[in-house]
Amino acid sequence: MNKGTWLLGRLAQIVPSFVFIGIVVFVLARLLPGDPVSAVLGDHATDATVARITAQLGLDRSIPVQLLHFLGGVVQGEFGTSIAYRIPVSRLILERLPATLILTGLSMAIALALAVPLAFIAALKANRWPDLLIRGVFQVGLSTPIFYVGLLLLTVLAAWAHLFPVGGYGEGWGEHLWHLFLPALTLALSFAAVLMRSLRGAVLDVINAEFVDFARAKGLRARLVLGRHVLRNALIATVSLVGLQVGSLLGGAVITESVFAVPGVGRLMVESIFARDYPVIQALTLVLAVFVSLALLATDIVQMWLDPRVGK
């Protein structure tokens, strides 16, 4: 199988996943207690007003008809109008999505910057004090809840030290990065702990392999052996883990954006659930599923580059 055929096959596998996710989120949204009409009008609305708004939202139709209407809109790229915000859902998501993407990308960059060099140090100094110290510190970060880490960083570095803003998003790229650094660091600490443990184990497995001993026997410098032979092969399993953790990062963004008052899609999801805003909940779930699927596809491509046997 050539690489083009393999890539087309991977893309074709994504389509059924979207259909399944769309159906599941449609059903789960309607299993939430309460209804959007009551959330919009309150408890003192008249029966006539409730009936009129229900008809306007299309909630008076049967569930199968609503589902077909929803899936037809998704195919056309139309997610409807937000019940709570009274604006098109696509416009609302486009306004909130950049903050979450920057937050996720920044947290991933911080996690990789922490995990990769420290994993090598821990592996090369295995079972000695640098390895024990690194694993111990990361174990604390891994076992501490995200919301607690966020509140701790917010209290110490923002409220007390005044090194970072306590919330918001700012204007322009510079302010965006400055405002999002603490929430990104909050997400990155637990992510880096998982990556470090995985990469450390992979380095220990590869560093004692026969082909590494052969490279050393040829007289290659230690830096070249580590970079060309050890790192490339150790990253194969870790790259897959990075793709799998993208979903966890997006899930963690829901909590982090709420703690740091970041106007992203994670916070929007929480607000929409409380408001029973079905169109926004459905659209956000599908959009996040798209990004997770693309991240998994990207990691598969990188893995294929690292190990050509993947695409065969």
For residue 301, give the CATH number of its domain.
1.10.3720.10
The reply to whether 63 and 167 lie within a common domain is no
The reply to whether 182 and 236 lie within a common domain is yes
> So what's the pLDDT on residue 110?
92
Q: Answer yes or no: is 159 within a domain.
A: yes
Give the residue from 11, 43, 75 where a domain finishes. 75
C-alpha of 99 from chain center:
12
The 10s digit of each residue's pLDDT in 280-305 is 888 888 888 888 888 888 887 777 77
231 closest CA partner among 218, 215, 245: 215
Mean pLDDT rounded to a whole number for the chain = 80
> Three-state SS across 207-256?
HCCHHHHHHHHCCCCHHHHHHHHHHHHHHHHHHHHHHHHHHHHHHHHHHH
The 10s digit of each residue's pLDDT in 148-159 is 888 888 888 888
Q: Answer yes or no: is 81 within a domain.
A: no
81 beta partners: 88
Q: Answer yes or no: is 80 within a domain.
A: no
The reply to whether 137 and 233 lie within a common domain is yes
Whether the pLDDT of residue 208 is over 80: the answer is no
CB 183 within 8 A of CB 103: yes
Q: Answer yes or no: is 275 within a domain.
A: yes
Which of the two residues, 6 and 257, has the higher pLDDT score? 257
The reply to whether 51 and 174 lie within a common domain is no
**In degrees rounded to 5, what are phi and psi of residue 59?**
-85, -5
The reply to whether 255 and 130 lie within a common domain is yes
Q: Answer yes or no: is 61 within a domain.
A: yes
The reply to whether 109 and 55 lie within a common domain is no
Domain hosting residue 29, numbered range: 3-75
Q: Answer yes or no: is 199 within a domain.
A: yes
Mean pLDDT score, 83-94? 86
In one letter, which amino acid is 10?
R
Q: Answer yes or no: is 83 within a domain.
A: no
Give the residue from 24, 41, 75 where a domain finishes. 75
Mean pLDDT score, 47-51? 72
30 closest CA partner among 1, 2, 57: 57
CB 169 within 8 A of CB 262: yes
| Count: domains in the chain | 2
The reply to whether 68 and 115 lie within a common domain is no
Give the residue from 48, 75, 102 where a domain finishes. 75
Which of the two residues, 4 and 106, has the higher pLDDT score? 106
Q: Answer yes or no: is 84 within a domain.
A: no
Global pTM exceeds 0.85: no
The reply to whether 33 and 123 lie within a common domain is no
**In degrees rounded to 5, what are phi and psi of residue 247?**
-60, -40
The reply to whether 102 and 61 lie within a common domain is no
The reply to whether 62 and 170 lie within a common domain is no
In this structure, the chain runs to a length of 312
**Token pair of 3, please?**
């690489």
The reply to whether 218 and 275 lie within a common domain is yes
The 10s digit of each residue's pLDDT in 57-73 is 677 777 788 888 887 88
**Token pair of 251, please?**
């899930």
The reply to whether 134 and 213 lie within a common domain is yes
